[in-house]
């Protein structure tokens, strides 16, 4: 006889049969792994700059040496010059710098504690490898995207965890007790939701002194974004609790003499997990976009530290996009991340509740 499957097992099966959702999961996994191992995966550190290579275009990876011999992957030297219109141009020089895989480079601490100096790929100085081009100070955009992923990707996770915690508490209490408590809490939620988000963001940021170190700014951004974001989640959870508390097993728990808090924590909230997992996944992009907007206008993570938002700050001047369009790469990574979270979130919702599929927003 076939073993009966749990609800979670069935949902997981439905989720994994969705190819787009699986692809999104892989993309997210790869991005988070790259962020975790940024030191190894990136050829250069955050602060490594080269004054001779401002806005150097992406370096081509050649296989054949200038004389036609096959010598394996390498990059050529890049020499900067000015043309007759005083525009910066780069010419490839005949020098050859072979790509060394797992070669020695700048030392760092792997995962924050292991001293290490190998990089996934690197070229010998004075050669430079710019997979995605360089920024105004000759810093490698590819390396900075990987380092910046640590900020941009984790802000979404931490932000959502904090606001989900608040949302769970407020929504759970409001939905379970109902009546007066519900009324008051929901009015508070509505107020938070009614304040124009971006203005609130600016006002809250104004309250944070400028003299903070980068880690404190990072924490401040997370707290600010969660403060704005919790209300939406609280409302979702309240709605679920309202319908759940009418179920028979809650009545059973109450007749057995459990306290309200025990019922909320042990019987009502666990059943909201399935749906809230989808709601939370769909909420993450908001935090990523919020951070990038804040950093973009210079109120978030400060140079030399990288986040995808503050890397795009250079693109605020349109002239720079004209002669160095590769400074827009971080936006591509923001887009891919947000898209993956949206696809995964939608698939999660459909997996838990197949009846919803094809209706309303979950198409």
Partner 1 sequence: MAPYIFRRILTALLLLVVMSFVTFMLMRLTPGNFLDTLRLDPQISKDTLAYYGKLYQLDKPAWQQYLYWLAGLARGELGYSFYYNVPVVKILASRLGNTFILSLAAFLLTWAVAIPLGIWAALHRGGLRDRMIQFTAYAVLSLPGFFVAMVLLWGASVTGWLPLGGMESPGSADLPWFARAGDMLRHLVIPVTALSLGSIALLQKIMRGNMLEVLGRQYIFAARARGLPENRVIYGHALRNAINPMITLLGYEFSALLSGAALMEIVTSWPGLGSLMLTAVRSKDIYLVMASMMMGGVLFVAGNLLADIALAKADPRIRIR
| Nearer residue to partner 1 within complex by CB, 94 or 196 | 196
| Structure-token pair, residue 357 | 């599929």
Closest CB 212 distance from partner 1, rounded Å: 11
Q: Which is nearer to partner 1, 113 or 199 (CB)?
A: 199
How far apart, in whole angstroms, are the C-alpha atoms of residue 201 and residue 290? 9
Q: Residue 157 or residue 204: which is nearer to partner 1 going by CB? A: 204
Q: How far is the CB of 191 from partner 1 (least distance, A)?
A: 5
**Shortest Å distance, C-beta 285 to partner 1:** 7
CB 336 to partner 1: min, Å: 8
Least distance from partner 1 to the Cβ atom of residue 181, Å: 18
Residues that bind partner 1 (CB under 8 A): 187, 191, 194-199, 202-209, 285, 289, 292-293, 296-297, 299, 312, 315-316, 318-319, 321-322, 325, 328, 331, 334-336, 338-339, 342-343, 359-361, 363
Dist CA 322 CA 64 (whole Å): 31
Task: Report the C-alpha gap between 295 and 85 in whole angstroms.
Answer: 34
Cβ distance to partner 1 smaller for residue 92 or 331: 331
Residue where the block lists tokens 């404190």: 216
- In the numeric block, the tokens 């696809």 are attached to 343
Alpha carbon separation from 285 to 2, 144, 262, 313 (Å, rounded): 40, 20, 33, 19
Q: What does the alpha-carbon distance between residue 261 and residue 18 come to, in Å, rounded to a whole number?
A: 38
- The residue assigned the tokens 């709601």 is 279
Task: Report the length, in residues, of the chain.
Answer: 363
**DSSP-based three-state secondary structure for 90:** strand
DSSP state of 264: I
Q: How far is the CB of 282 from partner 1 (least distance, A)?
A: 11
| Partners of residue 97 on adjacent β-strands | 75
Extract the tokens encoding 204: 């809250």
CB nearer to partner 1: pick between 265 and 293: 293
- For 286-318, letters b (16+ CB in 10 Å) and e give bbbbbbbbbbbeebbbebebbbbbbbbbbbeee
CB of 163 to partner 1, least distance (A): 18
Residue 127 or 309: the one with the smaller Cβ distance to partner 1 is 309
Closer Cβ to partner 1, 50 or 295, answer by number: 295
């Amino acid at each position: 006889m076939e073993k009966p499957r749990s609800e979670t097992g069935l949902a997981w099966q439905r989720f994994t049969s969705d190819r787009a959702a699986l692809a999104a999961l892989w993309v997210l996994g790869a991005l988070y792994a790259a962020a975790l191992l940024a030191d190894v995966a990136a050829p250069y550190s955050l602060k490594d700059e080269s004054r001779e290579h401002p806005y150097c275009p992406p370096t081509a990876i050649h296989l054949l040496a200038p004389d036609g011999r096959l010598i394996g992957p390498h990059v050529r030297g890049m020499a900067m010059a000015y043309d007759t219109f005083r525009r910066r141009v780069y010419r490839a020089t005949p020098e050859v710098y072979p790509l060394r895989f797992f070669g020695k480079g700048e030392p760092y601490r792997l995962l924050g504690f292991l001293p290490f100096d190998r990089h996934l790929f690197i070229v010998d100085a004075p050669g430079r490898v710019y997979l995605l081009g360089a920024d105004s100070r000759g810093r490698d955009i590819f390396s900075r995207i990987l380092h910046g992923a640590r900020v941009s990707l984790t802000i979404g996770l931490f932000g959502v965890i904090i606001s989900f915690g608040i949302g769970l508490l407020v929504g759970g209490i409001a939905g379970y007790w109902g009546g007066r408590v519900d009324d008051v809490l929901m009015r508070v939620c509505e107020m938070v939701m009614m304040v124009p988000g971006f203005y609130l963001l600016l006002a809250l940021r104004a309250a944070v002194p400028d003299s903070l170190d980068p880690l404190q700014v990072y924490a401040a951004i997370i707290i600010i974004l969660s403060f704005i974001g919790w209300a939406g989640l609280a409302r979702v959870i309240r709605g679920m609790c309202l319908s759940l508390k009418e179920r028979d097993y809650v009545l059973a728990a109450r007749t057995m003499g459990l306290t309200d808090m025990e019922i909320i924590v042990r019987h009502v909230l666990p059943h909201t997990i399935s749906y809230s997992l989808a709601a939370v996944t769909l909420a993450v992009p908001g935090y990523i976009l919020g951070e990038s907007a804040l950093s973009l206008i210079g109120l978030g993570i400060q140079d030399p530290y990288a986040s995808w938002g503050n890397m795009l700050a250079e693109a605020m001047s349109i002239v720079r996009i004209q002669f160095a369009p590769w400074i827009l790469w971080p936006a591509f990574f923001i887009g891919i991340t947000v898209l993956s979270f949206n696809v995964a979130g939608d698939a999660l919702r459909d997996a838990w509740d197949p009846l919803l599929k094809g209706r309303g927003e979950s198409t």
